[in-house]
Chain A
């Protein structure tokens, strides 16, 4: 089975400060990991993914994420938050060794960036 946990329902950060949105995963094999963002009344937009290679992955809008196999984590980060980053963020996983699986999503974390 594959699963994702996003332990924080909401993260509050001041504009200009660094932000971290946490994600841990569980798969029986090796993971494909993804971050998506959802703005109000919109679908999900892809931010970044980890497939293999460098543990630090850079994505859209200045976001990055660090894959940590020993901690089974894939935290989303940004050095300097913007008010426009306020949205709902989802982490997702697929077990690499089970090609017929669909993505499994976490419950989402609402990021609120205060001016």
Chain B
């Protein structure tokens, strides 16, 4: 089983719909992250959490919200999806600030 699991892997949704992307991890890490990948732009940070009660906005948080339900679970929501939120979304975890991050397989989201 994967250490970082994202569901769903692929999703097509309509403009204006609310959608939730889920992430769970078995690494036992405190730190969890949501990134978005767009061609030519690399990975951009949406939100990150250093523990259950510590949620922080990243560089592109507008239009997104998150919930840290437990140490192992970190969900990303699009309250009202729009086409320019079509992207590949990655969840990641890390143990500390100087250890590497572990990534999930990604969720390919298409907003039509």
Point out residues on A near B: beta carbons under 8 Å. Answer: 6, 9, 32, 34, 36, 42-46, 49, 51, 90, 94, 96, 99-108
- Classify the interface of chain B: helix, strand, loop or mixed: strand
User: Judging by beta carbons under 8 Å apart, are A102 and B58 in contact?
Assistant: yes
Distance, CA A100 to CA B98, complexed state (A): 11
Q: A42-B105, A90-B42 are in contact. List 6 more A-B contacts (CB 8 A).
A: A32-B98, A43-B103, A44-B92, A46-B102, A102-B58, A103-B33
User: Judging by beta carbons under 8 Å apart, are A51 and B33 in contact?
Assistant: no
Q: Nearest residue in B to A102 (C-beta to C-beta)?
A: B48
On chain B, which size bracket covers the interface? 20 to 34
Q: Determine the chain B residues whose CB is within 8 A of the CB of A36 once the complex forms.
A: 103
User: Judging by beta carbons under 8 Å apart, are B43 and A34 in contact?
Assistant: no
User: Judging by beta carbons under 8 Å apart, are B97 and A94 in contact?
Assistant: yes
Q: Nearest residue in A to B50 (C-beta to C-beta)?
A: A100
Distance, CA A44 to CA B101, complexed state (A): 9
User: Judging by beta carbons under 8 Å apart, are B105 and A43 in contact?
Assistant: yes
Enumerate 28 A-B pairs (CB-CB under 8 Å) in ascending A order.
A34-B100, A34-B101, A42-B105, A42-B106, A43-B4, A43-B90, A43-B103, A43-B104, A44-B43, A44-B101, A44-B103, A45-B103, A46-B100, A46-B102, A90-B42, A94-B97, A94-B98, A96-B97, A99-B97, A100-B56, A102-B33, A102-B45, A102-B56, A103-B101, A104-B45, A105-B44, A107-B40, A108-B40
